[in-house]
Structure 1
Amino acid sequence: MSRVKLLDKEFELSIPEEKLLKAVDQVAEQMNVELADKNPLMVCVLNGSFMFASDLMKRLNFPCEISFVKLSSYAGTGSTGQVKELIGLNENLEGRTVVLLEDIVDTGLTIINTVDQVKQMGPEDVKVATMLFKPDACKRDVKLDYVGMEIPNDFIVGYGLDYDGYGRNLKDIYTVVE
């Protein structure tokens, strides 16, 4: 599909699945070297990063666990400026290497808030892996350890990202048509 309609907006294809999976491969290769002896806990930030986390986990060839945290900072096509924690972590993080798996880092607010919360739980190290990064939208000094790809500051859907709950199921990424 070159175009999709979700609710009241039209979106056009911008990143095909093949390109997304190549980016996941690159992140996995880097992690397979750097985290091989760390036994990390991968923390998937829901809802958006479920596809990235699933594809990534299948490519990791070292012992690791996965857990999930549900956060929200978006309404419609924009950030609310506040991070709402909906479901938290239950695992003991003391002394562990924790890798936060994000779908997208744009303003940086959500990931900085999440890293700060995780650090309070006593891990040895906290790393951040994001499928997508919007450098032009980033308003914070964010340390990203693993980045699938950098993208322009456009509103996108697909591959786990949504527009008011719709479009997460799309295997490709689509950009809003203004």
Structure 2
Amino acid sequence: MNKIGEVLFSESEILERVNDIAQEINNDYVNKNICFISILKGSFMFASDLMKQIKPDCEMDFLSISEFEGKSSTGQVQIKKDIDISIEGKHVILLENITNTGLTLNYLKKMLLARGPASVKIACFLKRSSIEKENIKIDYQGFQIKDNYLVGYGLDINQKFRNLKEIRHLQKVRK
């Protein structure tokens, strides 16, 4: 059984960091159109808050993938829903809520690069400190975290707790 634990990042801390990321992106893409691709389901809150801060003339699409069952990675990325728009010649920013292994982002970046965009960058709200050994570059990062299991702000456990405005630790409770 799981219990929601203490707050790791408050709503105000989250929104402040999202604003910082948006400003970095706006500065990097002056007079350039950006195509954001949000990885569902987890990044929807990050994507929504970020898009409110981005200058006009951007596109948005969604990918749905599967790598996890419950709390365990299957080690294989499966595309459940691909993007609907062409990204050829466009500047793409892939939006992810958390980097656990780097497998998903490496796979998706290679897949998107094969479609001929001008560039592909990654904005990831949470990056695990253990991911340093993976060969994945996060271009825009929210917070670095340890290997604790977290819920809220799009993060879930068995599809629950995504709706929390803050990010909290998840605790195991013995019966």
Fold match by TM threshold 0.5: yes
Selected match of 1:171 from 157, 165, 170: 165
Cα deviation digits, residues 93-115 of structure 1 (max 9, x gap): 11111100101112101111110
1:91 partner letter: I
Normalization by structure 2: what TM-score? 0.93
Q: 1:21 to 1:28 in 2, by over 3 A?
A: same
Structure 1 counterpart SS, 2:21:
helix
Which residue is equivalent to 2:134?
140
Which residue is equivalent to 1:58?
52
Which residue is equivalent to 2:33?
39
Cα distance, 1:35 vs structure 2: 1.3
Which residue is equivalent to 1:29?
23
Question: Counterparts of 1:1-178 in structure 2 under 5 Å?
Answer: 8-12=1-5, 13-178=7-172
Query: Cα RMSD between the aligned structures?
Result: 1.2
Structure 1 counterpart SS, 2:130:
coil
Structure 2 counterpart SS, 1:44:
strand
Q: Distance in 2 between matches of 1:160 and 1:92?
A: 26
- The percentage of counterpart residues that share the same residue type is 37
Cα distance, 1:135 vs structure 2: 2.2
Unaligned runs of 5+ in 1: 1-7
Q: Distance in 2 between matches of 1:76 and 1:142?
A: 24
Q: Distance in 1 between matches of 2:133 and 2:152?
A: 24
Unaligned runs of 5+ in 2: none
Structure 1 counterpart SS, 2:68:
strand
Q: Distance in 2 between matches of 1:52 and 1:114?
A: 18
Structure 1 counterpart SS, 2:142:
strand
Q: Distance in 1 between matches of 2:72 and 2:11?
A: 24
- Large movers: runs of 4+ above 3 Å: none
Stretch deviating more after TM superposition (74-83 or 98-107): 74-83
Q: Distance in 1 between matches of 2:144 and 2:70?
A: 22
Count of aligned residue pairs for this structure pair: 171
Structure 1 counterpart SS, 2:129:
coil
